[in-house]
Structure 1
Amino acid sequence: MLRIVDHLVGRGPLRICAHVPRADGPGDLTGLRVLLTADVLARVVELRGRAVLAGRTGPRVPEADALGIHPADAEGTVEEIADALGGPPAVHLTSRAYEGGGGAFVRIAQARAAGETTAEGGEALAVRLLLLDRPYHEPVAITADDVDGAGQRLARWRRAVADWAEEPSKPLRADLVRTARDGLEDSLDTAAVLRLLGELAGDQDVPAGAKFETFARLDRVLGLELTREIGKAPADGARA
Structure 2
Amino acid sequence: MLRIVDHLAGPGPLRVCAHVPVGEGPGELTGLRVLLAADVLGRVVELRGRAVLTGWTGPRVPSAGAAGIRPADATGTPEEIAEALGGPPAVQLTSRAYEGGGGACLRIAEASVTETATGPADKDPLAVRLVLLGRPYHEPVEVTAEALDEADLRLARWRRAVAGWADHPSKPLCADLVRTARAALEDSLDAAAVLRLLDDLEADADVPPGAKFETFARLDRVLGLELTREIGRSPAGARA
TM-score bucket of the superposed structures, by smaller chain? over 0.9
**2:129 equivalent to 1:131:** no
Kindly provide the amino acid, as one letter, of the partner of residue 186 in structure 2: E
Describe the SS at the equivalent of 1:79: helix
Deviation digits for residues 204-231 of structure 1 (CA, Å, limit 9, x no counterpart): 0000000000000000000000000001
Deviation digits for residues 128-180 of structure 1 (CA, Å, limit 9, x no counterpart): 00000000000000112211111000000000000000001000000000000
Q: 1:235 to 1:190 in 2, by over 3 A?
A: farther
Question: Hey, what does 1:20 align to over in structure 2?
Answer: 20
Question: Hey, what does 1:69 align to over in structure 2?
Answer: 69
Question: Hey, what does 1:46 align to over in structure 2?
Answer: 46
Normalised by the size of structure 2, how large is the TM-score?
0.96
On the 8 A contact 1:66/1:120 being kept in 2, the answer is no
Question: Hey, what does 1:101 align to over in structure 2?
Answer: 101
Distance 1:232 1:173 in 2: 26
Q: 1:6 to 1:118 in 2, by over 3 A?
A: farther
On the 8 A contact 1:164/1:209 being kept in 2, the answer is yes
Question: Hey, what does 2:207 align to over in structure 1?
Answer: 206
Q: 1:128 to 1:86 in 2, by over 3 A?
A: same
Describe the SS at the equivalent of 1:191: helix
Kindly provide the amino acid, as one letter, of the partner of residue 218 in structure 1: L
Deviation digits for residues 74-94 of structure 1 (CA, Å, limit 9, x no counterpart): 111111100111000000000
On the 8 A contact 1:66/1:121 being kept in 2, the answer is no
Q: Which moved more, 1:23-32 or 1:200-209?
A: 23-32
Which stretches in structure 2 are left out of the alignment for 5+ residues? Answer: none
How far the C-alpha of 1:237 sits from its partner, in A, is 9.2
Describe the SS at the equivalent of 1:62: coil
Which stretches in structure 1 are left out of the alignment for 5+ residues? Answer: none
Kindly provide the amino acid, as one letter, of the partner of residue 216 in structure 1: A
Describe the SS at the equivalent of 2:53: strand
Distance 1:181 1:143 in 2: 29
Distance 1:56 1:16 in 2: 9
Distance 1:151 1:235 in 2: 18
Describe the SS at the equivalent of 1:56: strand
Q: Which moved more, 1:153-162 or 1:16-25?
A: 16-25
**What is the aligned length?**
239
Kindly provide the amino acid, as one letter, of the partner of residue 220 in structure 1: R
Identity over aligned pairs, percent: 74
Normalised by the size of structure 1, how large is the TM-score?
0.96
How far the C-alpha of 1:23 sits from its partner, in A, is 4.1
